Copies of this chain bind each other. A is one copy, B any other.
Amino acid sequence: MTQYIKIPVTVLGATGVVGQRFVRRLANHPLFIIQHLAASERSSGKRYREACAWRLDGDSYGGLADHVLVPGDPHHAMSPIVFSALDSGPASELEPLFAQAGALVFSNASAFRMTREVPLLVPEVNPDHLRLIELQRRHHGWKGAILCNPNCTATVLVMALAPLHQAFGVEKVFMTSMQAVSGAGYPGVSSLDILGNVVPFIRNEEEKVEEEIPKMLGRFAPDGVELAAVAVSALCHRVPVIDGHTEAVSVKLKGDPTPEQVREVLRAWKPEPQALALPSAPPVPIRLHEAEDRPQVRRDVEMDGGMSVHVGRIRACPLLGIKFTLLGHNTERGAAGGSILNAELAHAKGLL
């Protein structure tokens, strides 16, 4: 039966923290099957298990321990779908080559997120932005396309803002993050810097959140996205947590709804990935917590394979009207899982 013919995919940057999560998530994926694992020149030619240490639990190397790594260019690593866990530098060079060669490139890198013709896609939030790839193809003459998922902190935030923006309109957002060390990759944050500490700085993070939110919440137009008129202030911190970003959020909503109205909107939200039952979509996009001290990152973030976000402590804010605690998984929903969900959406929309 046709549903058993899976679509071959490539993972670029397969040895890193996010690359490994791509591999683990794709190991038994119902639609996709890994064709190529690509890595830097230094690693290509090696077996996957030789090129890196597997840092996740679950089946080591996603069952591909002996898979031989190839260089990350279309000549060696072409597939209809390419998942990119590259850093921004290599991404800006390599991703266009794959798009030109005809691949749909689902990128976790920041290189093209703010590029006019590139969708900054979260399937629950702005599935219609997918159509930007028409503009992109016209513009570049490509057969493929680049589709970005946003910065991890921005992804988690926009999941909570989207239903509020649809229901009320979001005008202002304060967001103070307490971010996990896995967001910096491996080896990433030195233990000497973070044990028993809070580091009040993550390079470019505040800027990314402040600029990506208006694009994601913006209205699709054939020649690009009209940015939403949402003013965002982000204050980003690193804390001694392995996975999961906690965000303290205050919002000014039009009409100044009550906490109870906000809670009801979040609870009732049923966006497209859940309606389409995409394989990686969590049962509900937002888990609401009633306990006064939840969500808590260590206790809650792994629920739903890290694909839902968590909201709790919805209460009145003396300044903006509503404040709440938000939590999401930075390397699942905010990286590998989000990217794969984007590909599932593209598949469901007949783009493959």
Where the two chains meet, the residues of A that have a C-beta atom closer than 8 Å to any C-beta of B are 17, 53, 55, 57, 172, 174, 176, 178, 181-182, 186-201, 210, 231-233, 235, 237, 239-242, 246, 248, 250, 291-300, 302-303, 312-313, 317-320, 323, 325
CB A210 to nearest CB in B, in angstroms, measures 6
CB distance B188 to A190 under 8 Å? yes
Given contacts A57-B299, A242-B196, contact A235 B210 (CB under 8 A): no
Majority-rule SS of A interface residues: mixed
CB distance B192 to A190 under 8 Å? no
Give complex CA distance A320, B234 in Å. Answer: 12
CB distance B210 to A233 under 8 Å? no
CB distance B317 to A233 under 8 Å? yes
Give complex CA distance A285, B323 in Å. Answer: 32
Give complex CA distance A293, B194 in Å. Answer: 12
CB A296 to nearest CB in B, in angstroms, measures 5
Residue picked from A194, A235, A317, A318, most chain B C-beta under 10 Å: A235
CB distance B195 to A196 under 8 Å? yes
Count copies of this chain in the complex.
4
CB A330 to nearest CB in B, in angstroms, measures 12
Given contacts A178-B237, A237-B178, A319-B231, contact A195 B191 (CB under 8 A): yes
Contacts of A53 in B (CB 8 A): 291
Task: Look across to chain B and name the residue whose beta carbon is closest to the beta carbon of A233.
Answer: B319
Q: Jot down 10 A-B pairs with beta carbons below 8 A, ordered by A.
A: A57-B303, A176-B176, A188-B190, A195-B241, A196-B240, A197-B241, A200-B295, A200-B312, A233-B318, A240-B240
Contacts of A242 in B (CB 8 A): 192, 195-196, 298
CB distance A178 to B181 under 8 Å? no
Contacts of A313 in B (CB 8 A): 200-201
Give complex CA distance A294, B199 in Å. Answer: 7
CB distance A298 to B195 under 8 Å? yes
Given contacts A190-B189, A235-B323, A302-B57, contact A195 B240 (CB under 8 A): yes
CB A251 to nearest CB in B, in angstroms, measures 11
Task: Look across to chain B and name the residue whose beta carbon is closest to the beta carbon of A186.
Answer: B192
Task: Look across to chain B and name the residue whose beta carbon is closest to the beta carbon of A302.
Answer: B57
Contacts of A298 in B (CB 8 A): 195-197, 242
CB distance A198 to B239 under 8 Å? yes
Given contacts A191-B193, A231-B319, contact A292 B210 (CB under 8 A): no
Give complex CA distance A325, B294 in Å. Answer: 25
CB distance A195 to B195 under 8 Å? yes
Task: Look across to chain B and name the residue whose beta carbon is closest to the beta carbon of A189.
Answer: B191
Cβ-defined partner of A200 (8 Å) among B194, B198, B317, B325:
B325
Cβ-defined partner of A241 (8 Å) among B176, B182, B198:
B198
Task: Look across to chain B and name the residue whose beta carbon is closest to the beta carbon of A53.
Answer: B291
Give complex CA distance A55, B317 in Å. Answer: 29
